[in-house]
Amino acid sequence: MKPSFTTAIIVDDRYPRKKDGKCPVKLRVTINRQSRYYGIGEYLYPEELAKKVYIPKPRGDYKKLLTIFTEIQNRADAILDAMETPTFDQFKRLFTQKGKGGNIKRYFDSYIDTLKKDDQPGTASNYECAKNSLDAIKGIERLNFRDITPEWLKDYQKKMQKGGKSVTTISMYLRALRTLYNRAIRDGVISETNYPFGRGKYLIPAARNYKRPLERWEIQTLAEYKGNEVNEMYRDFFLLSYSLMGLNFADLLTLQWDNIKQTTSRDNRNETATKYLQILRKKTANTGQADQYKIEIIINDYAQAIIDKYGTGKKYIFPIISPADTTGVQRTKTKNFVRNCNQALKKIAKQGGINSDISTMFARHSAAVHGLEGGATIGDVSQALGHKDLKTTSNYVASLDGGKRKLADALKIDNKAKAN
């Protein structure tokens, strides 16, 4: 059933102007008994709306205001009526942008606000950086989506490269712009025929930065490290992440006891209990409902030993995060823990002669590669990583040297077979 809505023109008497006491006239939109207010650039005394504008035969400027208010309300009703599931965010974009080609800067600002409300400060920061870069290089203060052409995009890329920006940065900023362009198309503020991205138009440069995963001997060196107890603790959490298929530290530190499930299987009268984690990754928790799904990761003996060693929390398995912590405090604690973990890993790496670039991010990449080398299918690995697309998983393992060597060996021809 489609949500009900109503619209009305009102005078907001909470905010009178100091110079004359007039108050802003606003459009009130109510969806399912919740209301939002949108300024329309007019000011009146509270009593004027009912006694001067909304009367049978208004005069002079009041007659003009009646026409303006009626057109605004009719346009708002038409926008809401055309929406399958009316929401305030989508209405705001359509109401302020419809017919104007969609101002890019305002679209960025609106989407950044939405990301912040959805508790996605990291993504919001990325879009803020993209907006600032596009504005500094090309100027988007008064630019609409219809002004974006393949030539415009190529010029932006050229200037960014000339300024020493990496392909990764350029790609990230242009993907943000492309996302908003697609939203503008869905909102109806720009036609799909103007779309500047794609083959034959403009292709966003692909940034592929495949880092070498840790070798198995390097993982073993970490496991055998003895020394500073604090470093050992951070090492243990890195190896726990690795053992749990590279589970992100934001998810790892907020694991709860009820995330641990158990199944029992029978084989020739013997019962085998298997423990596994069932979680919804924080990275996907704020996506559309249809895109959310839980991943399951078996807890092997090594991971269980670390959980037994450090799992002393009440709600959360590990006492790093407290149930009383706000989302912001959780994020800060996680960030600090990861920073300290990276510092500890680099100290161990220096002592053990392993990859000096090591960080918590290596756990995920290494787990994916070693899983495939151990015989798991790319589908198994993709599911454990929480990827919905095998292409994403492929990016993790494109530098699978072990697999390349096996392929080369499989195609090797015995030297004895050479013709004399």
> If pLDDT is split at 50, 70 and 90, which confidence band does 397 have?
low
Domain assignment present for residue 70? The answer is yes
Does residue 403 share a domain with residue 287? Answer: yes
The Cα 101–Cα 103 span in angstroms is 7
User: How confident is the model over 6-56, as pLDDT tens digits?
Assistant: 999 999 998 899 889 999 999 999 998 899 999 888 999 999 999 999 999
Does residue 277 share a domain with residue 133? Answer: no
Does residue 362 share a domain with residue 285? Answer: yes
Domain assignment present for residue 216? The answer is no
Does residue 21 share a domain with residue 49? Answer: yes
Of 309, 301, 295, 322, nearest in space to 235 by CA: 309
Highest mean pLDDT among 100-104, 231-235, 295-299, 324-328: 231-235
Domain C-terminal end among 35, 54, 86: 86
Domain span at residue 402? Answer: 221-407
Does residue 228 share a domain with residue 178? Answer: no
Of 178, 176, 174, nearest in space to 159 by CA: 174
Domain assignment present for residue 250? The answer is yes
Domain assignment present for residue 214? The answer is no
Q: Are 416 and 383 in contact (CB under 8 A)?
A: no
Does residue 347 share a domain with residue 256? Answer: yes
**What pLDDT, on the 0 to 100 scale, is given for residue 352?**
86
Does residue 118 share a domain with residue 259? Answer: no
**What pLDDT, on the 0 to 100 scale, is given for residue 146?**
84
Sequence-ordered list of residues with C-beta below 8 angstroms from that of 340, at least 6 positions apart, any chain = 234
Looking at the 3D structure of the chain, how many domains does it have?
3
Does residue 136 share a domain with residue 39? Answer: no
User: 301: domain CATH number?
Assistant: 1.10.443.10
Domain assignment present for residue 95? The answer is no
Does residue 147 share a domain with residue 75? Answer: no
Find the mean pLDDT for residues 406-416: 51
Domain assignment present for residue 288? The answer is yes
User: How confident is the model over 281-327, as pLDDT tens digits?
Assistant: 655 444 444 445 577 888 889 999 999 999 986 889 999 999 999 88
**What pLDDT, on the 0 to 100 scale, is given for residue 369?**
81
**What pLDDT, on the 0 to 100 scale, is given for residue 417?**
44
Judge residue 122's burial from the number of C-beta atoms within 10 Å of its C-beta, 0-12 exposed, 13-18 middle, 19 or more buried: exposed
Show the CA angle centred on residue 405, arms to residues 380 and 386, nearest 5°: 20
Higher pLDDT, 304 or 93: 304
The Cα 382–Cα 248 span in angstroms is 15
Does residue 41 share a domain with residue 153? Answer: no
> If pLDDT is split at 50, 70 and 90, which confidence band does 225 have?
very high
Domain assignment present for residue 209? The answer is no
Does residue 347 share a domain with residue 269? Answer: yes
The Cα 405–Cα 411 span in angstroms is 10
**What pLDDT, on the 0 to 100 scale, is given for residue 393?**
52
User: How confident is the model over 366-387, as pLDDT tens digits?
Assistant: 888 887 777 776 665 666 666 5
**What pLDDT, on the 0 to 100 scale, is given for residue 398?**
53
Q: Which two tokens stand for residue 133?
A: 């870069």
Domain assignment present for residue 210? The answer is no
Find the mean pLDDT for residues 51-79: 91
Domain C-terminal end among 150, 175, 194: 194
Q: How many residues comprise the chain?
A: 420
**What pLDDT, on the 0 to 100 scale, is given for residue 394?**
56
Over the chain, what is the mean pLDDT?
A: 83
pTM of the model: 0.55
**What pLDDT, on the 0 to 100 scale, is given for residue 396?**
56
Does residue 266 share a domain with residue 149? Answer: no
